[in-house]
Chain A
């Protein structure tokens, strides 16, 4: 049941974009077209899931036994940055097709605060390695859901007559706000499952 709770919380109830304000820069930046949003989602799901596993393992087996928790921020960000670099090099060599599709988004992910945010949230909830991986994955899926819905909405703007003062960021933020209002409706659901 805890597993179900983590998945529901990650995807809907504590959605990264709408409820926790994580990963807003790429959310607003790469949501102009649906294909790009899908590509970015793939990259984000992959990186957040693996980064959650690695950081949770580091926390449990290195930082905690050595009492180095105060170095968490530095260690995590270095691990995430080098991991993203590694994935980039590895994919360029072995999976050129996938690299072509995701390549341009990978460097952007280092500064996506959702990656470090997911790792930090796992620590505050003191999940183990397995649950951290799951929670990271669920959060990333929630982020992808948000950006894909939003890209679909943004594509329709092209057909609409938008007032010049609202064009661009203002309308994007207000639309996000309205979507977030809809997601606010999920809060409190399954209260016995989600902590």
Chain B
């Protein structure tokens, strides 16, 4: 029981670090760059992905003993497309403005590699609860990544960050560069973030090494 609990926690946590969708697996690049012109857009895209991912992972896991191996890909596609249509209809009805901003990237969640990757690599082989935790972990990590990239781009591009009615005020003497909101800004932001992460990882492993040499 205890062991099972520990592995549930691990399945949730691993999405944030070892199997971080953006920074270590580099999947789902298209929405990661396309919708991150602001923090709020990133947030809602992330919420949509969390819903779709949890739905598909749970159902793939529930049906994993029934689905024949040869036709699993088409079955996955249906299990992924169904929640995507639900998200599309709900968003269109209740948040039409956000639906228009995210545009074709809402239906394109269907072909988001993160969801396929989790279904194939995890949910098809693991029990339901673990799959649900895996989906929540990966989905939340993806949302955080989108919010981080969106926040950076929004701040550099407009000089402020707006979330709902709360707006971080403009910083004096800071001249925003609108290019950060265009596609080149997205590519360069993500590239720079990944390079910074590499530096951090390299430093951490170096420190570990020197510590172990001293000890």
Q: Which residues of A contact B (CB under 8 A)?
A: 18-25, 28, 70-74, 76-78, 81-82, 110-113, 115-117, 120-121, 124, 164-166, 169-174, 176-178, 180-181, 184
Contact = CB atoms under 8 A, between A and B. Distances in A.
Interface in B37-72: none
A123 to B, nearest CB: 9
A71 to B, nearest CB: 7
A70 B184 contact: no
Given A173-B187, A180-B184, A22 B78 contact: no
25 contacts: A19-B183, A20-B34, A28-B26, A70-B88, A73-B84, A73-B85, A73-B110, A77-B77, A77-B110, A77-B111, A78-B81, A81-B73, A82-B74, A110-B73, A112-B111, A113-B111, A116-B107, A116-B110, A164-B202, A165-B198, A166-B195, A173-B188, A173-B191, A180-B184, A181-B179
Contacts of B113: 25, 111
A116 B108 contact: yes
A181 B188 CA distance: 10
Interface in B145-197: 179, 182-188, 190-192, 194-195
A174 B89 CA distance: 36
Main secondary structure of the interface of A (DSSP, over half): helix
Nearest to B104: A120
B192 A184 contact: no
A176 B190 CA distance: 11
A70 B33 contact: no
Contacts of B179: 181
A121 B107 CA distance: 11
B194 A170 contact: yes
A72 B88 CA distance: 11
B27 interface: yes
B116 interface: yes
B199 interface: yes
Q: State the 4 A-B residue pairs at the shortest beta-carbon distance, nearest first.
A: A177-B187, A173-B191, A174-B191, A177-B188
A174 B179 CA distance: 14
Contact of A25 (B27, B81, B103, B192): B27
A165 B185 CA distance: 20
A24 B33 contact: yes
A178 B82 CA distance: 38
B126 interface: no
A164 B206 CA distance: 14
A116 B110 CA distance: 9
A184 B34 CA distance: 15
A180 B187 contact: yes
B98 interface: no
B82 to A, nearest CB: 7
Contacts of A76: 107
Contacts of B34: 20-21
B30 to A, nearest CB: 5
Contacts of A110: 73, 111
B187 A174 contact: yes
A169 B81 CA distance: 29
B191 to A, nearest CB: 3
A25 to B, nearest CB: 6
B183 A77 contact: no
A21 B199 CA distance: 27
Contacts of B17: none
A117 B185 contact: no
B183 A113 contact: no
Nearest to B80: A77
